[in-house]
Amino acid sequence: MSVREHRLRQLALDRCLQLLEEAQVRGRSRIDGPLGALLRTQLEHAGVIAEHRLEGRRIDRVLDDIFALQAQLLGQAPEDRRQRTGT
């Protein structure tokens, strides 16, 4: 993967995190249809195909998945936020 491709994938994952965090600030705990569609688009830009529906999933669980994808892209071991925080 070229440096440019790597950077574009990282930016797409960053945008996913931003979308999820904005939804949390608005008081949402689960992904709705419009947010799911935006996330799928960004995940496609990151070269990731969602294995299952995003709609209805808890935002905190999807955040953990995105953090794991970022760690994988950076060649790091993913840290499970659930283990760290006990949630």
What pLDDT is recorded for position 76? 78
Number of separate domains in the chain: 1
Cβ atoms within 10 Å of 57's Cβ, excluding its own: 16
Q: Rounded to whole angstroms, how far apart are CA atoms 7 and 38?
A: 19
The pLDDT assigned to 74 comes to: 86
pLDDT at 50: 74
φ/ψ region of 26 (left if φ > 0, alpha if ψ in -120 to 50, else beta) reads alpha
What is the pLDDT, as a whole number, of residue 2? 85
Q: pTM here?
A: 0.81
Tell me which residue range forms the domain holding 35: 3-85
Q: Which residues of the chain have pLDDT under 70?
A: 77-87
